[in-house]
């Protein structure tokens, strides 16, 4: 089928398409067209919903990581104090006898 732009108008092009063998053998079922359009629209909505949900989770994870970083910074500042307290010997011996009863 040879189609030239100057020879065919949109109506004439549609008539030529309808008369072609391929179109006669495989008639377009409009229910299939509308069904696939609806399925595409539903999939687009689902993908948008998943994207929004993913962004919300990423924001929450970022918030949790920020809080945990602040906590770890505080723990890091307290490490010298913990090392001073946690000597590997019995620290009660340096205080003498405490049990008086």
pLDDT of residue 94 exceeding 80, the answer is no
- Residue 16 near residue 3, CB atoms below 8 Å: yes
Query: What is the residue extent of each domain of the chain?
Result: 10-85
**Cα–Cα distances in angstroms (integers) from residue 23 to residues 10, 27, 98, in the given order:** 17, 5, 102
What's the Cα-to-Cα distance from 59 to each of 51, 52, 54, rounded to whole Å? 12, 11, 9
Mean pLDDT, rounded, for 59-85: 87
Cβ-based neighbour number of residue 39 at 10 Å: 10
Q: How confident is the model at residue 39 (pLDDT cuts 50, 70, 90)?
A: very high
How confident is the model over 12-32, as a mean pLDDT?
68
Q: For residue 28, give the DSSP letter.
A: P
Of 72 and 26, the structure prediction assigns the larger pLDDT to: 72
């Amino acid at each position: 089928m040879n189609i030239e732009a100057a020879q065919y108008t949109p109506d004439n092009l549609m008539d030529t398409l309808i008369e072609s063998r391929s179109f006669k053998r495989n008639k377009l079922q409009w229910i299939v067209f509308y069904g696939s359009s609806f399925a595409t629209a539903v999939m687009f909505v689902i993908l948008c919903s998943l994207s929004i949900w993913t962004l919300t989770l990423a924001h929450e994870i970022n918030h949790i990581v920020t809080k945990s970083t602040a906590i770890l910074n505080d723990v890091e500042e307290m490490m010298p104090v913990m090392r001073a307290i946690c000597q590997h010997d019995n620290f009660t011996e340096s205080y003498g006898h405490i049990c008086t009863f």
